[in-house]
Chain A
Amino acid sequence: MSARTLKGFAKGLALAAVFVLPAFATSSSGPAPAFQLTGRNGKAIDLSQYKGQVVMINFWATWCGPCRQEMPLLEDIYKKYKPMGFTLVGVNVEPDAKGAEAWLSKQKPVSFPIAFDTESKVSKMYKVAGMPSTVFVDRKGNIRVMHKGYKPGDENFYLTQIRSMLKE
């Protein structure tokens, strides 16, 4: 293989990287968009009430297998880190809030706040591009990381993010 061919490969790789890297893009900067939604039992959930805490926003749906799979793990994480200034907000993206509430009441109890984004307004604001989607917001209210999907083992990534942001 000649030097010119190698140069060709290198240029091609660089060019591809420029156009393909946006696929990894996580909207990981800027203040987390404010929102007010209705939660379980009609309780109001406002993102600003959690300022000063590390917030993990998890977009989920009852029809999404991986979302259902990670829910018990999210509950464990919430119980463990809540005393240290951490909170988890589960944003349900379904138009039928009553149906989602009924589903929740049949599962193992979930103690972290759940908000119902019945009109997908918040999902759009956060540019949710995969189900589930998890957004990590720091104590100052800025988005730091956005994680798409859930595979067993991802909870380790969550824990790393939470621990490092709690230290700030």
Chain B
Amino acid sequence: MRTRGLILITLAVLSAGCSSIEPWVKPYDRENLADPIMAFTRAPISQDFLDHVFESREGSRGASGGGGGGCGCN
């Protein structure tokens, strides 16, 4: 009974928090982030080739992608 109560409170806080955390960067303030120069990878075809060059002559591999950002529309 107590466990259920605890889980209830945690979930309530989490899901209420999830749907009511106010994004601190408003959708109408996304102009700079939506600028094409702000993409982590502006030319995937070129980056894929270079990633291949580095991976085939270095011992390191992995964790070289990147995403997110953009206009946040819809």
Which chain B residues border A124 with CB–CB below 8 Å? 26
Q: Across the interface, do A19 and B28 meet the contact criterion of CB distance under 8 Å?
A: no
- Bound together, the chains give a CA A157 to CA B72 distance in angstroms of 22
Q: B15 in the interface, Cβ–Cβ < 8 Å? A: yes
Which chain A residue lies CB-closest to B22?
A: A129
Q: Across the interface, do A63 and B15 meet the contact criterion of CB distance under 8 Å?
A: no
- Bound together, the chains give a CA A132 to CA B30 distance in angstroms of 12
- Bound together, the chains give a CA A151 to CA B73 distance in angstroms of 10
Q: Across the interface, do A67 and B26 meet the contact criterion of CB distance under 8 Å?
A: no
Q: Across the interface, do B15 and A131 meet the contact criterion of CB distance under 8 Å?
A: no
In this complex, how many residues of chain A approach chain B with their Cβ under 8 Å: the count is: 30
Interface of B is mostly: helix
Asked, given contacts A19-B12, A149-B73, A151-B74, whether A61 binds B28 with beta carbons under 8 Å apart, the answer is: yes
Q: Across the interface, do B15 and A65 meet the contact criterion of CB distance under 8 Å?
A: no
Which chain A residue lies CB-closest to B34?
A: A63
- Bound together, the chains give a CA A150 to CA B73 distance in angstroms of 8
Interface centre among A16, A59, A63, A133 (most CB of B within 10 A): A63
- Bound together, the chains give a CA A63 to CA B26 distance in angstroms of 14
- Bound together, the chains give a CA A34 to CA B39 distance in angstroms of 37
The 9 A-B residue pairs whose C-beta atoms are closest, nearest first, are A93-B28, A149-B74, A19-B15, A23-B19, A131-B27, A63-B34, A123-B28, A131-B73, A19-B16
B interface residues with partner A (beta carbon < 8 Å): 8, 11-12, 15-16, 19-20, 26-31, 34-35, 71-74
Task: Supply 18 A–B pairs (Cβ within 8 Å), ascending by A.
Answer: A15-B11, A22-B19, A22-B20, A59-B28, A63-B30, A64-B73, A65-B71, A66-B74, A67-B73, A129-B27, A131-B28, A131-B30, A131-B71, A131-B74, A132-B73, A133-B27, A150-B73, A151-B74
